Each structure stands twice: as C-alpha cells, then as structure tokens.
C-alpha cells in the first residue's frame, strides 16, 4: 500500500470535550493540524485496525476536504471499512443511528454544531463510540494525551475517494461505502411515529414552516416532511446545505431564526413552525404567535410521548441537564417516573439511556432526544410534536395553555454573554463561588435565598463524579438563577445565566416572561456583579 508516515509535532490547544474539538477553520487547515488530531483519535481509541467507522458532516466549509484526509488516514491505519454519507453529508443523529444499526466501531462527525461556518468561521471534529454516543471522558482523556506527544501520523499517498456516488468501492485496501444520508434515518422515524396520522393532519389543511437554516437537516426535512408526510411544497425553508450556512448563524433560537419567528407571529402565520441547527441535533418549536422554550418542549414531550407509537408503553424515566428548567420534574413526578438532573453534555444522558433508566432526555440549549439514538435529535423532536398535534387536534397555543394549567408554568430565559475575556469570566464565577456558604437565608431584593451550591453529579450508572458543573442559587417560592461557563465557542468564554421562576397562580400564567423574571434577573446581576467585572451591560443573546 502506498502509505506515508509523516513526522510531526504535538497539537496546541484545549482538550476535546463531549462536542469534540472546535476551532477556527483556518486552524484546522494549518499544515498537519487535522492529521495530528485524527491520528490522536485513532491512537486514543486503541487503533482502527480492521474496524468499521461511520464518517459524515454538516456540509460546512472544509467538510469535503477533511473527509478525504480522514479516509486516507483510516486506510493507512488499517481500517476495514468507512461508511460515508453521500456528498459527505450526515446529520449527527443520523451518524449515531448508523453506528448502532451497522454495529460500527465508532464514527467521526465533522461539525461545529450551531456555530457559524465558512473560511473565517468555525470547524469541528468529534468521535462517537460504538453505542453511537459522544466519547466518554476516559476516551477523550486518552485522545488529548496523545495530542500532547504525537510524533507521527499515517496517511495514504493516494488521491481522494469518490464520495458523491452511492455504492461500495475500494480505497487502498479499505472498503468505502457511500450511503444515502436520509434513507436509514427516515426508516427509523417511521417506526417511532404514526406517519399516516401526521399525513392526514397535513391533508386536512394543517400548515407548517421548517427552517433548515441552510444546514444539514434540509435534505432530511424535504424527504420526510414534504415527500413522505405530505406537507405542502415550500414548507421547508433554506433546505440546501451551504458551506457558510447562507451567511447565517445556524442556531435555532428566536435571535438567529428571526425570519421564521416573524412569519410565525405575522398575519398569515402557519399552524406550526420549527427550525434545526448546523448538524441537526437541536430544534426550535413555534406555534402561531407562540414560542415554546426548549425546557417547556421537553416537559410537554414527556407528558404526551405516549401518543406516539414508539412510546406507547410509557417512559422508563426522563433526564434533563442541570440548567434546564424544572418543568419536566413536575411532569415526571405526576407520571411516577424518575427524573435525573445531569451536567450539561449528552454523554451523561448516554449512560442513563444505555442502562434503561431514561427514555427521553433534554437540555435548555434546544437539544431533545430519546433512546432511539445516543445524540439529541432536532427532526425527531419536530416529528414527535407533529404526532402529538395530530392526535390531540389542538393548536400549539392551546396545548401550552392546558399544560401550564395542569403543571404550573416555569418562566425561563437564558442570557448569553459571548466572547468574554477568560480571566474576567472566571472572576465572575470565582466571586459567586466565594459567596455560596453565606447566601442561604439571606435576601436579594425581595427574594430569599433557599439554597446555593456548585453542582456536582454522581453518575448512578458508572459511579463517576463530575464536579464544578455550574453554580445554582435557589430562592424561596420556586425561583432559581444558574451560572455556567460554556465551552462551545472558539473565542474567549461565554457566560450563561439561566433565570427561572415557577408560577402556579392561574391568573399569572400568561405574563410576559421578561416581566415575570425581572426580580430573578435583578438578583442574578446583583449577586454576580457581572457588569462591573466584565464591562458587559446587556447579554449578546437572550433565549
């Protein structure tokens, strides 16, 4: 086999996490950078000799070139086969499903999720394990360790592989199978949802708009929503993946999906709206003049999942990330099922799903999913919503009103302060941390602190402990403020402040969320002293 062993140097930079390694595209394009990281993944998982890998990405800039490098390196490292989405396209949940369906040894996903794409924007690469989920911390530790001392990588001296034509071909002794990126995923969705019922909903005049945000779910949405379920042509907007996501920011929230929000709050609004992100694992749900927060969406799906065939027998349990509102806790209590509070990161859900302790999982950052794969799944959430709407015959607004009347309403908002100088961001967290012992029993404005801590998680499956997972301050009456530093960006640090308030008074269930959360927001600002320490007055994004 014509193969090169290239002498190289260790990689600079941070440890890859649940979301893999994310950096500016220009960094990944530096000589040997991607190759070093791919070899570090291969070495960190014990090699890929005779293994089968799934490879695909969200179509962002550098996706095709990176896949060619990965295939040449997989062949040089002795892999038996790579299964690749046609044109290099595979959504993150579709990769997870293919790994599980084909019994593959893992997969490489090329994406920076909801981050912008393009030559001056972001790129990312992550490894998913044999269960279809993100690599465990033990595996990422090994990958990171290898990046620190890597001295060679292996790559074939050949030219690229045809990834645009379906079928199986040989590449330097390794099989490369090019598959339709949608077919297997769509077949899985048909086993979970009543496609006939949803088709009848559309046939009866129900209308929707799905904004694919020029990202990976476009082909999936066209094939499933329009072709199989009968949504009218044009229901899917921005459905062709673009290397720079049409110059936009593929994050499904009211800020970046403003065009969809304008349509859904306009005079000719359709019945239902939704959006998904860069790699297809997040979602936004909107009704006519009704925005559904991700936390409320998880709670509603938990309450109504039994209406879909795949969940007719009920749920084993549900899990949410710590910053996600506690609305789903109230549903789980009513259903008599366990509700797990985990750190942010889908790998924590994966343990619960693998152990059969949870069926649905969700996080406030617009990610929801179930045990059908080991990733969050944007289009899956949209289909479950459609199945529920088809079964109940209700509008999104009426469904939410009934839900709040039964369970109370957890008013909720997330404030993101992006690209904050890391030292200043850490100063905010250190200042909060120092106050924790003295806060319980004290007052902040009209609110009385009930409890304050830094969240730590003891995994009920493997016994591992995760510390330093965010600061929680709970007030009497069901209000809460949570503070975290996020690692999903590529510049500086993002401070996320989560505000929550439970309301059970029937006369106060339709308040403006900003008004309902004003006291909690004022308390969060006073406790964190964020403006003085960072110079930021207002958040960059409010969701």
479-486 and 471-475 beta bridge pairing: antiparallel
Active site (annotated) includes residue 113? yes
- Asked if 411 and 491 touch (Cβ cutoff 8 Å), the reply is no
How many other C-beta atoms lie within 10 A of the C-beta of residue 379?
A: 26
Tokens 């004022």 belong to residue:
522
CA–chain centroid gap for 233, Å, is: 28
Question: Computed over its alpha carbons, how large is the radius of gyration of the chain?
Answer: 23
Reported residue count of the chain is 543
Rounded Cα distance, 47 and 163, in Å: 24
- Tell me the C-alpha to C-alpha distance, in Å, between residue 3 and each of 156, 158, 312: 4, 8, 53
How far is the C-alpha of 294 from the C-alpha of 276, rounded, in Å? 12
- What is the strand order of the sheet 208-211 is part of? 236-237, 208-211, 272-276, 283-287, 290-292
Q: Which of 91, 113, 321, 365 is catalytic?
A: 113
Residue that the structure tokens 């299964």 belong to: 83
> Which residue matches tokens 């944007």?
378
CA distance 157 to 170: 15
Instruction: Please give the Cα distance from 356 to 204 (Å, whole number).
Output: 38
83-109 in b/e form (b: 16+ CB < 10 A) is bbbbbbbbbbbbbbbbbbbbebbbbbb
The Cα diameter of the chain in Å comes to: 74
Distance from C-alpha of 11 to C-alpha of 142, rounded to nearest angstrom: 14
| Number of helices followed by number of strands (H, E) in the chain | 18, 27
Measured distance CA(199)–CA(387) in Å, rounded = 10
The structure tokens listed for 378 are: 């944007």
Distance CA 132, CA 54 (A): 10
DSSP letter string, 379-417: HHHHHHHHHHHHHH---HHHHHHHHHHHH-EEEEEEEEE
Torsion region of 107: left, alpha or beta (phi above 0 gives left; psi -120 to 50 gives alpha)? beta
Q: Give strand pairing partners of 496.
A: 416, 484
């959504």: which residue's tokens? Answer: 91
User: Annotated catalytic sites, by residue?
Assistant: 113
């Amino acid at each position: 086999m014509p193969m090169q062993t290239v002498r190289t140097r260790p990689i600079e930079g941070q440890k890859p996490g649940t979301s893999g390694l994310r950096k500016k595209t220009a960094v990944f394009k530096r000589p040997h950078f991607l190759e070093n990281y791919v070899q570090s993944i291969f070495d960190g998982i014990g090699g890929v000799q005779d293994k089968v890998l799934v490879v695909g990405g969200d179509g962002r800039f550098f996706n095709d070139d990176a896949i060619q490098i990965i295939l040449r390196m997989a062949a040089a490292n002795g892999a038996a086969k790579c299964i690749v989405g046609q044109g290099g396209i595979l959504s993150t949940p579709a990769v997870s499903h293919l790994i599980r369906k084909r019994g593959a040894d893992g997969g490489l996903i090329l994406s920076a999720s909801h981050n912008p794409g393009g030559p001056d924007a972001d790129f990312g690469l992550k490894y998913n394990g044999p269960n279809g989920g993100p690599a465990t911390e033990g595996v990422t530790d090994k990958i990171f360790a290898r990046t620190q001392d890597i001295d060679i990588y292996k790559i074939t001296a050949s030219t690229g592989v045809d990834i645009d034509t379906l079928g199986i071909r040989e590449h330097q002794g390794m099989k490369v199978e090019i598959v339709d990126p949608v077919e297997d995923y769509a077949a899985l969705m048909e086993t979970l949802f009543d496609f006939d019922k949803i088709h009848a909903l559309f046939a009866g005049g129900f209308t929707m708009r799905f904004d694919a945000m020029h990202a990976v779910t476009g082909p999936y949405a066209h094939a499933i929503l329009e072709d199989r379920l009968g949504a009218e042509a044009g229901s899917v907007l921005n459905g062709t993946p673009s290397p720079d996501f049409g110059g936009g920011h593929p994050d499904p929230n009211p800020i970046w999906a403003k065009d969809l929000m304008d349509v859904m709050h306009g005079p000719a609004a359709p019945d239902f709206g939704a959006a998904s992100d860069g790699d297809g694992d997040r979602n936004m749900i909107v009704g006519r003049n009704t925005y559904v927060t991700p936390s409320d969406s998880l709670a509603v799906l938990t309450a109504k999942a039994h209406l879909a065939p795949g969940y007719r027998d009920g749920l084993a349990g549900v899990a949410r990330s710590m910053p996600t509102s506690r609305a789903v806790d109230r549903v789980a209590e009513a259903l008599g099922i366990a509700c797990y509070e985990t750190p942010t990161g889908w790998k924590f859900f994966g343990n619960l799903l693998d152990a059969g302790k949870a069926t649905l999982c969700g996080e406030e950052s617009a990610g929801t999913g179930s045990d059908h794969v080991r990733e969050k799944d944007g289009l899956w959430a949209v289909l479950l919503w459609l199945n529920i709407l088809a079964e109940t015959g209700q509008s999104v607004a009426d469904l939410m009103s009934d839900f709040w009347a039964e369970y109370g309403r957890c008013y909720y908002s997330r404030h993101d302060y992006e690209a904050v100088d890391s030292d200043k961001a850490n100063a905010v967290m250190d200042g909060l941390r120092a106050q924790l012992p003295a806060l319980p029993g004290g007052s902040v404005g009209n609110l009385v602190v009930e409890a304050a801590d830094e969240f730590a998680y003891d995994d009920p499956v493997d016994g591992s402990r995760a510390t330093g997972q965010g600061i929680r301050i709970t007030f009497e009456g069901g209000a809460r403020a949570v503070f975290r530093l996020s690692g999903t960006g590529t510049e500086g640090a993002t401070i996320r402040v989560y505000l929550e308030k439970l309301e059970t008074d029937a006369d106060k269930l339709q308040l403006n969320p900003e008004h309902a959360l004003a006291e909690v927001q004022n308390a969060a600002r006073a406790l964190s002293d964020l403006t003085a320490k960072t110079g930021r007055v207002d958040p960059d994004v409010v969701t």
